[in-house]
Every structure is written in structure tokens, then in C-alpha cells.
Amino acid sequence: MKLEGKRIFITGASSGLGHGMALELAQRGNDLAVTARRVERLQALAAEVEALGRRCVVVPADATDQAASAQAFARAVEELGGIDVAILNAGGGRPTNMAAASVDDVIRISRANFDTLVNYLVPAMAHLQGAGGGVIAYTGSPAGYFGLPNSGPYSASKASGRVLIDSCRIELAPHNVRFVALYPGFTYTDGLDPKQVPIRALIIEKERAVREMVWAIERERSHHLFPKRIRFLIGFGRMLPEPLRRRLLSAAAGPK
């Protein structure tokens, strides 16, 4: 799908990769509807988009709130006259060691990553089925491939999203709804603490990540795991015997 002249809905657009994709897509000639909780940041983003000569509808909502999310998506559809592409990018987490985690800790991270996906995924699928098709892109994480130490709840929520999108890809193919799963590695954004990354060379700039993600959406790649170093490490890790992989991950996590 050529990303020009499209109506694009983006969640988690107030900062980070969502904010970056919004500006990149506006520069390519698309109209946007953007959502997140921080209204002031969305309004500032809208001003930047409109300065580029494109329309930007601001629909603030808490993505963990099912009703608010449904209302935000419905308003975006109404304001733009429909949606061609939905980029489901909301999410985040923090280091969580399961030896000391509470139930609330785990549920909070699950809501921030899985509920925020589902709350927009379902209305987006319904709309695109009725519209004759379109593209849904999901921002996952390489963490969703393994249960990483100090990231158990985050890894689990991203793994759930990855598998759910796999099912949707099969079930909605007859309706011409296509799915792109994006797995950006460590990226310099507000949500990243570089001290938590064992190898600094694995971190990439936000601008590079944004370009890769937009490239993958335009080409409708089913899965896009990047950068190459992360793709190699994940592929290598999947080939290892599980006991050896577990020892290596434990060593990479550092002292207990």
C-alpha cells in the first residue's frame, strides 16, 4: 500500500515512535487521527502536522479504557470519513522482577500493552471489514519472543499481542484486512533507560526506527524485526537448546 493520500489512525502518538511516525506520514501526504492520554502533546503534534499541509484530528483517550478507546476510534472515523490504516502503537513497561512482583504489577503492564492493543484492534477490524479492507500495523517487541529476565510481564504481554495478530492475519484475510507486525529493538526514546541495555551498540536512533517501521507498513511485511543485530540475536536464540538459552539470558541480565 502506497502511504500517500491515506487516512491513518495512530495510537500512542504523543511521544516516541508514534509521534515520529505521525510526522513522517504527514510529510508523505497523509491525513491523520492521533490518540494518547496527553492532550497538550497531541495538540502540539497536530500543529506540526497541519504546518505540513495535512489534516490531524486529535482524539485523546486512555487506551486501557475500552469505552473511551471505542469512542475515540469512532470519532476518528467520523472526522476523516474513514480509516485506511490503523497503527496500534500504544504500550510500554518498566523492569519487573517476578521474584518480587505483585499481582497489580503484572496486571498493570499487561493492561498497558495487551489491553491497549485489543481496545483498538477490535473496532479497527470491524471498520476495515466494512470498508472493503485496509492495513493494521502493531508495534510489538523482540521481548515478545522470549521470557526475558526482569521483563517477564512485558515479554508476556508482547508475546500475547504477537500471537493474537497472527490469528487475525489468517481470519481476516478473506476480508482483505492485512496485518503488519513491527518489532523494533532498543530505540532512543523517552521510555528507554540506556543503562538497562547490556550492549549499547544495540540501541538505534528514533528516526531510523521510524523510517524502518513506515517502510515495513508500506510494503505490508507480515513481520519486521529490526535492526539486523537484534534480528540475528533473536534468530540465533531460537535455535539454541532451551537450557543453554536460559543460561545466556540469565548471564546477560547481570547479578541477581
What does the pLDDT look like over 202-250, one tens digit per residue? 677 889 999 999 999 999 999 999 988 889 988 999 999 999 988 888 8
Residues with catalytic roles:
154
Kindly tell me if the per-residue pLDDT of 256 is higher than 60: no
Residue range 7-253, CATH number:
3.40.50.720
Instruction: Report residue 18 as a C-alpha cell.
Output: 508514534
Query: Which tens digits make up the pLDDT trace of 108-165?
Result: 999 999 999 999 999 999 999 999 999 999 999 998 998 888 889 999 999 999 999 9
Burial of 167 (0-12, 13-18, 19+ CB in 10 A): exposed
Instruction: Report residue 144 as a C-alpha cell.
Output: 515478545
Burial of 71 (0-12, 13-18, 19+ CB in 10 A): middle
Query: Which tens digits make up the pLDDT trace of 149-169?
Result: 888 999 999 999 999 999 999
| CA separation for the pair 140, 225 (Å, rounded) | 9
Give me the pLDDT at residue 198, please: 57
| CA separation for the pair 102, 104 (Å, rounded) | 5
Rg of the chain taking only CA atoms, in angstroms:
18
The answer to whether 62 and 12 have CB atoms below 8 angstroms apart is: no
Instruction: Report residue 233 as a C-alpha cell.
Output: 540475536
Q: Where are the beta strands (DSSP E) in 28-163?
A: 31-35, 56-58, 85-88, 134-139
